[in-house]
Amino acid sequence: MEFLKNPTTVKMLAAQIIKACDNYIALKIPEKQLKDLITYYAAQHGKKLFSHASLNPTIKNRIGKKRIELVNIMLSGFQFKLLD
């Protein structure tokens, strides 16, 4: 499975997260690939993915509760840098 590594908008990022989570749930990609992708987005596109202390509200609305739970599991142990 191919995923866009550098989405240009928050909505595009949400679409890629949905695609990745759905492929993981359907057993089309391994957990490591999903975790690597989510942590890459968190590290490289943190301003799009996060808002204050949690996920961006647009991301939350787009991906839904079950995928939010999956993303939070993949991000466990990840620490977002505060300053660029």
Which pLDDT score is estimated for 52? 85
Which pLDDT tens digit goes with each residue over 45-70? 999 999 987 899 999 999 999 999 99
Q: 81 pLDDT band (50/70/90 cuts)?
A: low
Residue 20 domain flag: yes
**pLDDT surpasses 90 at 82:** no
Domain containing 57 equals: 10-74
Structural contact between residues 71 and 38, judged by C-beta atoms closer than 8 angstroms: yes
User: How many domains is the chain built from?
Assistant: 1
**pLDDT surpasses 80 at 12:** yes
Residue 70 domain flag: yes
Cα–Cα distance list, 17 to 11, 24, 55 (Å): 10, 10, 12
Residue 80 domain flag: no
pTM listed for this prediction: 0.91
Mean pLDDT, the chain, rounded, equals 92
